[in-house]
Structure 1
């Protein structure tokens, strides 16, 4: 008996091991490639009761989404798909356009999230544009429209729109609807002053929905609630129809709160425009202006002219100083001198003496400055002939200078001629030219000193032009 108690029960231990579940732990490094692939993916839900192959969806949506690179659609569950993209820009563009319409059914999209389970969580909401009609004219405001649209869901935008065809205004709002709830055909609004008012709703790009229960995703022929009510002999229809689908879009209307504010804004805009124009003109004028560096005159005549101009400016300045009026204080002191001489006190006489001494010192200073300028003019002003100062003599001197230049050119050309030009004919011609030059050189010569540089001019050139032989 003791031996049987010591024997282990191997049969029970094997059964316990089989009942235990196996657990394998992994980290992000083990699934790095899979995470990278799912990062650029979306989760989609097709709201229809019909069975559709994922290949059909891929071929249709590839054309609708303008053929994004590396598009791949995989079915995870019935009507639940995972869409893979190669570029993140394509993913963002497709996600922004959700919900998409596939065969008159909504294709809802959201970004893949690792933490969400099940993956289709959050695919029961969609943004849709709702139009609010049959409002009184004074009730067509964005604020009231926001209140009415908030009864349908979360409001993102709300504005006043106008039909350009008949200029009828209505309210439009972007609302996030819950697809698990039926859509509404309208709502009652009211106030103490206006009473009860019924408003109609219209939905833009609305897919197939059930006219009996109001749910999106199936039609009345496949509505389970309609079948159950028919068996019970009841009718709980919401009496919906295709008129809930909007057939126009309209254009947004910008409402001005106050005409005075509008006028002031227009004036501000005009002022800003005028200021901008003025600044533009000033900039254009500044661009046209150019900085010019005036070169210093290299010849002696330029320096001499500058010295003469400088002396003249100094002389004019001294003349202006002489003609300037004496300050009123000095005039008063001088005019009051006889009175002070007769009846003034000792300090007043001292002040008068000081004023007269100041005037005498100024006069002496001006005389000394005049003398200095005259001496400078004597040193630097050249002796210029009267004929040169006149316009006629200047022209004649330029002609004579041209002739002398031509004569030098001929002399240089004669020295560089070939042996053929040294023939008898060439010698005769050269002798004739030399004789002509001797006649010109035999005339009297005058010396003109300008900046200590002698210039030779003939007497005949100053009086009459030379004649050709």
Structure 2
């Protein structure tokens, strides 16, 4: 399409074609829109999405869902606060598969969106307690993606059993299982990463955009890979905080819905 547009730009235009169309930005009442992509091979219906989201999100005002095809939907909110709350409580999953949400801006074109980033809370385990600081979170989290928040007190410390940070991850890349860290002149140690509310992901390659059955590593393998060859596994998952909003799911073999 870009090639066609470039060729058309070089053509002589008629008087009608030369006239520009002024597209004013959407008004606040119509501009509260999320675009969602569902990373599942199963076709997702607009009705199922609307029903389950209404039960899970529990937002103050109403919203409307429009099917875009290719397991993508428009979600139009009446209130911007509800949209922001949904993004803040992400990630969400549908049938335990990841849903990537993007806040639609005035200049965005949906068919150009990559849907390749999602925010997760990541726990960093095995750090020395006095090194569980905001600065450490920013430095370690920077290898994962864009650090949005480090969960520390007003003094910049976390005196719990692990350091917790929220990071925008590139879901096309494999999950990072940990990192070697060195403190001063001491011997480097290993810090484990655990991800909260992690949906289904591939235990072979560690990516979030497909499961084991659709992994190219599995498909291209001349022999059936052995279980011990899996580089990733359930140890990457962290127990969800009971104060956090549950994921929303649809049972694939039932007509009823449920939350977990």
Q: Aligned partners of 1:126 and 1:111: how far apart in 2?
A: 12
SS at match of 1:231: coil
Aligned equivalent of 1:231 = 222
Given candidates 27, 51, 66, the residue that maps to 2:21 is 27
Q: Aligned partners of 1:246 and 1:104: how far apart in 2?
A: 15
Q: Aligned partners of 1:172 and 1:144: how far apart in 2?
A: 11
Alpha-carbon contact 1:47-1:106 (below 8 Å) kept:
yes
SS at match of 2:188: strand
When normalised by structure 1's length, the TM-score is: 0.42
Aligned equivalent of 2:51 = 59
Aligned equivalent of 1:184 = 176
When normalised by structure 2's length, the TM-score is: 0.72
Q: Aligned partners of 2:183 and 2:242: how far apart in 1?
A: 28
Q: Aligned partners of 1:209 and 1:180: how far apart in 2?
A: 11
Aligned equivalent of 2:141 = 149
Alpha-carbon contact 1:38-1:112 (below 8 Å) kept:
no
Residue 50, structure 1, aligned to residue 34, structure 2: no
Query: Aligned in 2, Cα 1:72/1:192: closer, same or farther, shift over 3 Å?
Result: closer
Residue correspondences, number: 223
Q: Aligned partners of 1:35 and 1:198: how far apart in 2?
A: 49
Alpha-carbon contact 1:161-1:250 (below 8 Å) kept:
no
Query: How far off its partner does 1:80 sit?
Result: 1.6
Q: Aligned partners of 1:21 and 1:118: how far apart in 2?
A: 28
Question: Residue by residue, what CA displacement relative to the aligned partner does 1:75-94 show, whole Å, maximum 9, x if unpaired?
Answer: 22312211122333333333
In the TM superposition, 1:308-347 aligns within 5 A as none
Given candidates 118, 121, 129, the residue that maps to 2:113 is 121
Given candidates 67, 84, 87, the residue that maps to 1:75 is 67
Alpha-carbon contact 2:123-2:164 (below 8 Å) kept:
yes
Higher helix share: 1
Query: How far off its partner does 1:176 sit?
Result: 1.3
Q: Which runs of 5+ in 2 are unaligned?
A: 1-11, 244-260
Aligned equivalent of 2:214 = 222
Alpha-carbon contact 2:59-2:82 (below 8 Å) kept:
no
Query: Aligned in 2, Cα 1:42/1:233: closer, same or farther, shift over 3 Å?
Result: closer
Query: How far off its partner does 1:129 sit?
Result: 1.1
Query: How far off its partner does 1:101 sit?
Result: 2.6
Alpha-carbon contact 1:179-1:215 (below 8 Å) kept:
yes
Q: Which runs of 5+ in 1 are unaligned?
A: 1-19, 164-168, 252-469
Question: Residue by residue, what CA displacement relative to the aligned partner does 1:55-100 show, whole Å, maximum 9, x if unpaired?
Answer: 1111111111226544221122312211122333333333333332
Query: Aligned in 2, Cα 1:35/1:209: closer, same or farther, shift over 3 Å?
Result: same
Aligned equivalent of 2:189 = 197
In the TM superposition, 1:393-432 aligns within 5 A as none
Q: Aligned partners of 1:237 and 1:127: how far apart in 2?
A: 28
Query: Aligned in 2, Cα 1:84/1:194: closer, same or farther, shift over 3 Å?
Result: same
Query: Aligned in 2, Cα 1:237/1:142: closer, same or farther, shift over 3 Å?
Result: farther
In the TM superposition, 1:377-392 aligns within 5 A as none
Residue 96, structure 1, aligned to residue 73, structure 2: no
Query: How far off its partner does 1:214 sit?
Result: 0.6
Query: Aligned in 2, Cα 1:26/1:142: closer, same or farther, shift over 3 Å?
Result: closer
Structure showing greater radius of gyration is: 1
Alpha-carbon contact 1:181-1:215 (below 8 Å) kept:
yes
Alpha-carbon contact 1:109-1:123 (below 8 Å) kept:
yes
Q: Aligned partners of 1:53 and 1:214: how far apart in 2?
A: 28
Q: Aligned partners of 1:103 and 1:112: how far apart in 2?
A: 24
Q: Aligned partners of 2:58 and 2:177: how far apart in 1?
A: 35
Q: Aligned partners of 1:57 and 1:204: how far apart in 2?
A: 23
Query: How far off its partner does 1:46 sit?
Result: 1.6
